[in-house]
Structure 1
Amino acid sequence: MAADSSAGAPSTWPELRVADWTATRETLHMWMQIVGKVRLAHAPLVNHWWQVTSYVSPRGLTTSAIPYGSGVFDIEFDFVDHRLVVRTSDGDVRTVALEPKPVADFYRETMRALRELAIPTSIHASPNEVEEAVPFAEDDRHDAYDPVAAQLFWRQLLQADRVIGEFRSYYVGKVSPVHFFWGAMDLACTRFSGRPAPPHPGGAPNCGDWVMEEGYSRELSSCGFWPGGGEEGAFYSYAYPEPDGFAGHPVAPGDAFYSKDHGQFLLPYEAVRTADDPDRALASFLHTTYEAAAVHGGWDRAALEDDPDRWAHRRPRHPRRRRQGS
């Protein structure tokens, strides 16, 4: 059982050691791949595979509306009541309990729920971007589910999503939503310069190189949160293609560093959690690492960036903490 530092009232930035919930995280990763592949099976392609992601919700992670026939459905991991909820625009609902169970059982129960809702779905029923791609129907090794850890993970995502969303608002060029990719299991937001990029070499395990080529088809700066890095997860930021001088660019806060092994800047989650001002610490990392890509990549920053409060003088003022870190 993961330690709950909240004592009944969760900390704004909760503590969750990677080592304390590894088995649950690996099981959740497979469950999330199943749900993500359902969305992939029904949603039309959007550039860089944006149609396959999930989004942080008030209760967990949701696919948002997925088209089917003349209606829609959605699937949500509810980490409050610990259930997978499948809803249709016809008003029908099915649930699958989030509890200790093998991936194979979760897969069968989720597919059955879709059939009962008259949404029969066929997916590529093996995981991507992991070294051992055990078919979902045969996976009896991943079966852990710690509800405390799952909820703390979601609360980590709530905070990361909030601050990254604020960072996103300073960009008026092409920029992704803040969304959750189930392949690598990370929350991400990506800014684009507007220029094409060289073909990505690929190399992700059990994932076609053409998948990465689509994902990295335009020059970009991407940031996000990965729950599997460091002691408590890590925030990251990288550029593709990486421009000369990127790795040596000064970034903040002091705990941030460039990892040659990963080819990106990293900031331990615990460094943010324990900072005097966690929001500002993370914002400074997001802004300065983006600058590393934009400055050394020669991006047209005057055309791509703007003040999110540029219309404040024309509308009623609502208090909002500004967290620009640069």
Structure 2
Amino acid sequence: MLLKEWENEKETLHLLSQILGKYKLECSYQEPQWEHVILDITVEGFTTGMLHYKDKDSYITVNLIDHVIEIRVDRNKESIELKNGLSIQYYYSEIKKVLEKHGLDMQINTTPQEFPDTTPFEKDSHHHHYDSEISAKVLDLMKFAYHAEAQFISSLRTRRVKPGLFWGTFDISSIIVYNSHQPFEDDSKIIERAAFDEEMIEFGFWFGDDNFKGPTFFVLPYPFADKKFECNDKFPEGSYFDENLDEFIIEVSNYNNDTIQDVVKFFYESYSIFKDDLEWKNCEHFHLPLKMKENNLK
């Protein structure tokens, strides 16, 4: 699905994810690399997972199958319809109203982050696009990206961040973190200084942007690449190193298991090059087989 086919709907979904993310930011136990604010991909859509505030547990889910926002506070559950014409201003107001009804009065920063339009949620009446058929396709893409990343990273014997929705940039990413403290050079940048303070390699997916027409996977190292790299013959067809982004890139148009296998190979080869360039040591055991009986995902 090309971005031009659903750009308005994407912006509305992106802002919905930001509302959820802002609540998760305030009500989750803090972790390095902002891992605590990542939204979980589910069978139905994306969710905050468990939030905790004032001895109450809650969650907020954007359900792209039943086209509702679900809010549970302990044993109480309410929903808000997702519908074309309803604005971010409306959704935010309704979510806030439900939470306050059940005793959750937490305050969030309502200004979008890493998003070109900084209209606060409570004033945003112009993002109001929703389409049920597009939402179904978006959910399929989210799950496709999740499975590609999870297949690569889940069994690795090292510290990693599992795939999830980074709501600032609206991409689905996972991370291998190396045991080396590397503080970000500009401590005034609130997001970057917490995201980039240890050596890592990020494996991600985004839906497209001004430079990429549609679904694209990337691999990014930190410290950031400062030289040009080449794709060897082990990379799947279509892979390349983007010198402007300093990332390995592969764009995809099919969303089947064969493509997932290509993406897994793309991740592995990109990781191998960046790992060696960063001079990571003692990584041989990362890929040792798990001593478990194989399950249905093998």
TM-score normalised by length of structure 2: 0.92
Amino acid corresponding to residue 190 of structure 2 in structure 1 = W
1:246–1:293 Cα contact (<8 Å) kept: no
Of 236, 240, 243, the match for 1:257: 240
Amino acid corresponding to residue 67 of structure 1 in structure 2 = H
Shift in alpha-carbon separation, 1:244–1:137, aligned structure 2, 3 A: closer
Amino acid corresponding to residue 82 of structure 2 in structure 1 = L
Of 116, 125, 133, the match for 1:140: 125
Say whether 1:87 aligns with 2:72. yes
Of 236, 260, 269, the match for 2:252: 269
Of 140, 152, 176, the match for 1:191: 176
Of 160, 173, 180, the match for 1:175: 160
Of 82, 87, 101, the match for 1:98: 82
Task: Tell me the alpha carbon deviations over residues 275-304 of structure 1, each in whole angstroms, 9 at most, x when there is no partner.
Answer: x82121111111111112111111125355
Look up the SS of the partner of 2:287 in the other structure: coil
Of 43, 51, 75, the match for 2:60: 75
Taking the aligned partners of 1:200 and 1:85, their CA distance within structure 2 comes to: 40
Taking the aligned partners of 1:320 and 1:179, their CA distance within structure 2 comes to: 19
Of 289, 292, 303, the match for 2:270: 289
Q: How big is the shift at 1:245? A: 5.5
Taking the aligned partners of 1:36 and 1:320, their CA distance within structure 2 comes to: 30
What residue number does 1:4 align with? none
Taking the aligned partners of 1:86 and 1:217, their CA distance within structure 2 comes to: 34
Taking the aligned partners of 2:82 and 2:28, their CA distance within structure 1 comes to: 25
Taking the aligned partners of 1:319 and 1:86, their CA distance within structure 2 comes to: 33
Task: Tell me the alpha carbon deviations over residues 129-168 of structure 1, each in whole angstroms, 9 at most, x when there is no partner.
Answer: 0233111111122111111111211111111111211111
Amino acid corresponding to residue 83 of structure 2 in structure 1 = E
1:54–1:64 Cα contact (<8 Å) kept: yes
Say whether 1:119 aligns with 2:116. no
User: Tell me, which stretches of 5 or more residues in structure 1 are unaligned?
Assistant: 1-15, 203-207, 322-326
- Number of residue pairs aligned between Structure 1 and Structure 2: 294
Amino acid corresponding to residue 197 of structure 1 in structure 2 = Q
Amino acid corresponding to residue 188 of structure 1 in structure 2 = S
Q: How big is the shift at 1:242? A: 2.9
1:17–1:232 Cα contact (<8 Å) kept: yes
What residue number does 2:222 align with? 240
Of 139, 146, 166, the match for 2:151: 166
Look up the SS of the partner of 1:273 in the other structure: coil
1:200–1:216 Cα contact (<8 Å) kept: no
User: Tell me, which stretches of 5 or more residues in structure 2 are unaligned?
Assistant: none
Say whether 1:220 aligns with 2:204. no
Taking the aligned partners of 1:131 and 1:163, their CA distance within structure 2 comes to: 29
Amino acid corresponding to residue 78 of structure 2 in structure 1 = R
What residue number does 1:5 align with? none
